[in-house]
Amino acid sequence: MLIILNNKCNFTLNQFKQYSQELTTIKTQHELVLCPTNIYLSITPKSEIVLGAQDISMYHEGSKTGEVAAKQLKSMNVEYVIVGHSERRLYLNENDKQITEKLRRSLEQDIIPILCVGETIGDYQQVVSKQLEILKNIEHFENVIIAYEPVWAIGSGKTPTIKQINEVISFIKKIYPQNKVIYGGSINEFNISNLKSNLIDGYLLGGLSLNSERLKAFLENLE
Ligand code: 13P
């Protein structure tokens, strides 16, 4: 299974050094992908943990002040990138056009994009299918990992039931049978026991990713 650790905008330098050192002691059969704040990518200790980024520029490298281009991430051995997280859609007004370009830039550099989708409230079908429509404009869209993250579940301590998650993932897989689909939103070391299913290809962890001991407990309960 794919376990994506989205550190979001957390940790000072010293905190990150300690945390990332602790992560190197984790033994697991699952593929762990650490997505630190970009400035820490170069100081992440070498280990079995794969590197991911939390965002990517929609532009190619060059005169784009403040941006981090796909080619630069690739040169840092970044293998995955989160694209279209609801926090970026909300706080940075990221739109489908930008998200489409970001998916393209990632795939051009063989960085696997993790495209986040999910409803804010109410019915998921219309929102999720609309958010996924951009895949129709992407060559090799089958290489995109789809992360179902209902916005109401992010950081709220609330999760859908496993039945509801299975329903949404089945809905997604019916339209995009070749794509991997993972779940994110308030996953922790306790609720994971009730949120496992053969349909889920992995998990996207926010708050839980920040604590190595809790993460170890999660991985034990997942196995
Ligand atoms: P939480 O696990 O903190 O709810 O965050 C989920 C998330 O947004 C991961 O990208």
How much is the pLDDT for 61? 97
Determine the Cα–Cα distance for residues 203 and 52; give it in Å rounded to an integer.
14
Crossing angle, helix 162-175 and helix 124-132, to 10 degrees? 40
Report which of 137, 139, 71, 146 is spatially closest to residue 98, judged by C-alpha positions: 137
How much is the pLDDT for 214? 98
Decide whether any atom of ligand 1 lies within 6 Å of the 205 Cβ: yes
Ligand 1 atom showing the smallest separation from residue 204 Cα: 9
How much is the pLDDT for 16? 98
The CA 74 to ligand 1 mean position distance, Å, reads: 24
The CA 29 to ligand 1 mean position distance, Å, reads: 22
Asked if CATH classification 3.30.70.80 holds for the domain at 2-222, the reply, yes or no, is: no
Decide whether any atom of ligand 1 lies within 6 Å of the 52 Cβ: no
| pLDDT tens for the chain, residues 1 to 223 | 999 999 999 999 999 999 999 999 999 999 999 999 999 999 999 888 999 999 999 999 999 999 999 999 999 999 999 999 999 999 999 999 999 999 999 999 999 999 999 999 989 999 999 999 999 999 999 999 999 999 999 999 999 999 999 999 999 999 999 999 999 999 999 999 999 999 999 999 999 999 999 999 999 999 8
Using CA atoms of 12, 14, 15, 20 in order, give the dihedral in degrees to the nearest 10: 120
Ligand 1 atom showing the smallest separation from residue 86 Cα: 8
Determine the Cα–Cα distance for residues 107 and 174; give it in Å rounded to an integer.
23
The CA 185 to ligand 1 mean position distance, Å, reads: 5
Decide whether any atom of ligand 1 lies within 6 Å of the 157 Cβ: no
Residue 31 CB neighbour total at 10 angstroms? 15
- 30: annotated active-site residue: no
